[in-house]
Amino acid sequence: MRELAVLMEELGYDELWLSEHHFFYDGYCPALLPAAASVLSITERLRVGTGMLLLPMYDPERLAALATDLTVRSRGRFDLGVGMGYRDVEFDGHGVSRKQRMPRMVTGLDVLEAAEADGGAPIWMGAQLVEPVKRAGLRGHPLLFSAALPFERCRTLTKVWEDGWAQSGRPESQRPALGALRNIWLTEDQREREAARDWVRASYVQYAGLGWTLPAVGDHQQQDYAAQTDKAIADTVETTITGSADECIKQLRQFDEVGIRHIAFRLILDGEPRPALESQLRRLADKVLPRLRDRVAA
């Protein structure tokens, strides 16, 4: 990870986002702050964010102290993205009742917001349902959308978030840009395109293993990874952006147009050949980054 972070910085990427799960066979990172510290300590410019840290499972006072420490040490290059979590085993392993995740989330946000106002880490939130998205807008925190959300759903939820922001009375001029993870593979080679899409498919089989489900929102249907595994995964693979630089940029600009200006390329897939990953990072940096406005992450 640290070697990739250094490479990303050299190639001109702006942000690196880390995600969290617990007790999973492949060593999925369960402790994002030490992982973020390891990257921040060896880079100069790259921002590092948690996308997402599962807030209800932590002591918020200690978490706030750690996040502020990282913010100071990195000279403001750390972003603290928080979400609620959904796996029973993760709550149970940390002695937290899943029923308590909402009150613990709210209490935790209160503590983190006080720390942010005092020079601590900027808070981001992860959410994919109407009410939590609106709450994020009301509280004034930018969102980072999951890579599994199709563009249309991101657009719908962005509008919900903007309504929340407006209701909070905050000025529109201070409204932050939102972010989204995206599965992407820049290639004009049909075989490579198919391989990349199949690696994305395989990566979402892991989410079926994690027990993840994307609930319905308005006209957007539920993607049930447990009951309709193959269909849900196939639908998610369709969110993958592949093709030439022009084709990739055209799709990425859709996000820009609706106010989603932090795009995190979801490129690190379990078991993926390292040379393929590095080659893709270089290809995107060479052909896509210079033509996009604002921040680009991976």
Partner 1 sequence: MRLGLILTERREADMARLAESHGLFGVLAGTGEPRTAITAAVYASTATDFVRVVVNVRLGREHPVTIAEELSVLDNVNNGRTVVLADTAELTPGDAADELAVIREALGNRPISHEGPRWKVPAGLPANVTAPPSLAVTPKPAQLEIPFWLTGGAAGEVARRGGLPELARDPAGAPPERPVQPAIARITGSLSEDRDAVSAWMVAGATHLLLEIPPGADQSAVMTMVSRYLAPEVAMPHFPRVMSDSKVPLPWPGAGRI
3-state secondary structure of 143: strand
> Of 167, 165, 171, 197, which is closest to residue 183 (Cα–Cα)?
197
Q: Which string of b and e fits 271-297 if b means at least 16 CB within 10 Å?
A: ebeeebbeebbebbbeebeeebeebbb
Figure out which of the listed residues 3, 44, 76, 92 binds partner 1, where binding follows CB under 8 A.
92
Kindly state whether residue 2 participates in binding partner 1, applying the rule CB under 8 A: yes
Applying the rule CB under 8 A, the residues between 53 and 72 that interact with partner 1 are: 57-59, 61-62, 65-66, 69-70, 72
- Is residue 119 a contact point for partner 1 (CB under 8 A)? no
Residue placing its CB nearer to partner 1 in the complex, 2 or 250: 2
Check: CB of residue 70 under 8 Å from CB of residue 78: yes
Choice from 47, 56, 82, 91 touching partner 1 (CB under 8 A): 91
Which residues are 36's β-sheet partners?
none
Give the separation between CA 71 and CA 32, rounded to whole angstroms.
Answer: 14
Nearer to partner 1, 92 or 230 (CB): 92
Interface with partner 1 in residues 21-40 (CB under 8 A)? 22-31, 33-35, 37-38
Q: Which of 196, 198, 177, 60 is nearest to 116 (CA)?
A: 60
The reply on whether position 271 binds partner 1 by CB under 8 A is: no
Q: Please, which residue, 25 or 174, has the CB nearer to partner 1?
A: 25
By CB under 8 A, the residues from 146 to 205 that bind partner 1 are none
70 neighbors 33 (Cβ within 8 angstroms): yes
Residues that bind partner 1 (CB under 8 A): 2, 22-31, 33-35, 37-38, 41-42, 57-59, 61-62, 65-66, 69-70, 72-73, 88-89, 91-100, 211
